[in-house]
Amino acid sequence: MLKRLIPHPLLSLTLVFVWLGLVNKFTLGNLLLGGLFGIIIPMLTAPYWPDRPKISRPLKVLEYGFVVLWDIVVANIQVAAIILFKREENIQSHWIVVPLELTSAEAITVLAGTITMTPGTVSATLAADGGSILVHCLHTDDVDAVRDEIKTRYERRLKEIFQ
């Protein structure tokens, strides 16, 4: 019963906080309204999200968040430098195949999003069975190094979080 009422407790909690943030004022009425949204929206969207991902180490999520935020800032500067200072014919774009050890759909989604937001890489598509991810790299001299960095820096952390 409780599982049908609140299929995704974390999503419900997030919705409450997002609602309180949107109205930008903490009152009892807003809290109740946020709670109502937190129950109704996950119920309506439950058919599209049947799995229940388990986050085993919440502290690792924070660490991952900070690593990614830092990398986004670095990525911005690197890409800006490439755009501004590299001659067009010197920019060497590559396709990079990253074999995945992650299996859950949520973990792969987070990884794909992270890859897109970080240094010079955009995730393009997955293998049909989810066994590897295709990444487009704006400029690199060492394809293997980029692949290894994605694997050790992001995938390893996500594995600890989701498995």
Partner 1 sequence: MNFFVELLITISLVVSGIFGLVGSYGLVKLKDSLQRLHAPTKATTLGVGGVLVASMIYFYAKTGYLSVHELLITVFLLLTAPITANFIAKTYMARNIRQSDLPDSQSTCGWSIYDEPPESRPGS
Q: Cβ contacts of residue 13 below 8 Å, gap of 6+?
A: 38
Tokens representing residue 80 in the block: 């800006």
Contact 100, 155 (CB under 8 A): yes
Contact 126, 134 (CB under 8 A): yes
Tokens representing residue 74 in the block: 């670095």
Contact 113, 104 (CB under 8 A): no
- By beta-carbon proximity to partner 1, the closer residue of 93 and 152 is 93
Cα Rg of the chain, angstroms: 19
If binding is defined by CB under 8 A, does position 40 make contact with partner 1? Answer: no
Taking residues 60 to 99 in sequence order and writing x for each that binds partner 1 by CB under 8 A, - otherwise, the string is: ------------xx-xx--xx--xx---x--x-x-x-x-x
If binding is defined by CB under 8 A, does position 136 make contact with partner 1? Answer: yes
If binding is defined by CB under 8 A, does position 134 make contact with partner 1? Answer: yes
- By beta-carbon proximity to partner 1, the closer residue of 10 and 80 is 80
Where does this chain bind partner 1 (CB under 8 A)?
18, 20-22, 24, 50-51, 72-73, 75-76, 79-80, 83-84, 88, 91, 93, 95, 97, 99, 105, 112-117, 120, 122-132, 134, 136, 138
